[in-house]
Amino acid sequence: MFSPKEFIEESLKEIKATVKDAKVISACSGGVDSTVTTALVHKALGEKVLAVFIDDGLRREGEPEFVLKTLKTLGIKTRYVDAKKEFFAAFKGKTDAEEKRKAFRETFYSTFGRVAKEEKTGFIAQGTIKADVIETVKGIKSQHNVLEQIGISPEKYGYKILEPLKELFKPDVRKVGRELGLPKEVSERMPFPGPALSLRVLGEVTPERVAIVRKATVIVEEETKELGTFQNFAVLHNDMATGIKNGNRLYGNIITVRIVDSEDAVAATARRVPYEKLMKIAQRITTEIPSAVRCLYDITDKPPSTIEFE
């Protein structure tokens, strides 16, 4: 049986022994894994930890504010880095899923390389968990936060990486979060991928296309709050479809809604959501988003699908 208490004790010892007196920056996107990691290294090293939130322009509505507020409540020193321009420049012209993931990864690590240099530190903590490592090593997809396990040395970016959660699956990460006394909005948060909405914009990732999926995400999250599912989200397709708006033909956007149950993200089932609920979501998406003419519901389990589309 996993004991979060023992895990925390062991981790604190290990982190202290690795880092000694150095300063550490902790990459915090606000998700469960990176926030638990940040709280853990902060418990081990106190004031020597600086949480860094990189604004890549791909976060959900209100997310940067939420993350900064949460870290402040936890008493952790935080730096906000605006890297929106760099990320959108890296995505320019890229439509292939793996190429986009690699563009995200490269920009993520090089931005941290710059911040590490500015902050004069050689250590970055990040929230990699076991499922990230397994899927990347198996070649299913290149999770943005897996490097050493696939033979890329983080030293090329100028720092060493601490991954205190890399042997844990999501349910145990939540247990650690609870044991650390994190607020429920953090430990029980719906999982959200590091590359954020870039995985949910099929085709080229531009600020305009991210804005569409961001709006659809708000609608899906509002309408599915009470379902208690593992992940609920919207995806913007690259294809277009014919529709009718205000009595005129509109060649517009297609949005898919995905709502899944899962324990640890390794397997998942599509939730049998009542039709009325789906109709309401479709109605809101096609009325509140001017360019949206079609809304689909994904009924595929993982496997054969994955949870995200990319």
136 vs 286, beta carbon nearer ligand XMP: 136
Strands 269-270 and 248-261: antiparallel
**DSSP assigned state of 191:** P
Cα 77 to Cα 34, 88, 115, 172, 294, distances in angstroms: 15, 27, 15, 26, 44
39: helix, strand or coil: helix
Cβ atoms < 10 Å from Cβ of 176: 25
135 vs 221, beta carbon nearer ligand XMP: 135
141 vs 237, beta carbon nearer ligand XMP: 141
Give the Cα separation of 278 and 61 in Å (integer): 22
Nearest approach, Cβ of residue 175 and ligand XMP (Å) = 17
33 vs 223, beta carbon nearer ligand XMP: 33
Q: Which residue has the tokens 């998942």?
A: 268
Exposure string of 64-85, with b = 16+ CB inside 10 Å and e = fewer, is bebbbebbeebebebeebebbe
Residues 6+ apart with CB under 8 A from 12: 40, 43, 44
Residues of this chain that bind ligand XMP (CB under 6 A)? 101, 132, 135, 141, 143-145, 191, 193-195, 199, 231, 265, 302, 306-308
Nearest approach, Cβ of residue 83 and ligand XMP (Å) = 17
194 vs 252, beta carbon nearer ligand XMP: 194
Nearest approach, Cβ of residue 266 and ligand XMP (Å) = 8
Nearest approach, Cβ of residue 243 and ligand XMP (Å) = 28
35 vs 286, beta carbon nearer ligand XMP: 35
Nearest approach, Cβ of residue 41 and ligand XMP (Å) = 18
Nearest approach, Cβ of residue 120 and ligand XMP (Å) = 27
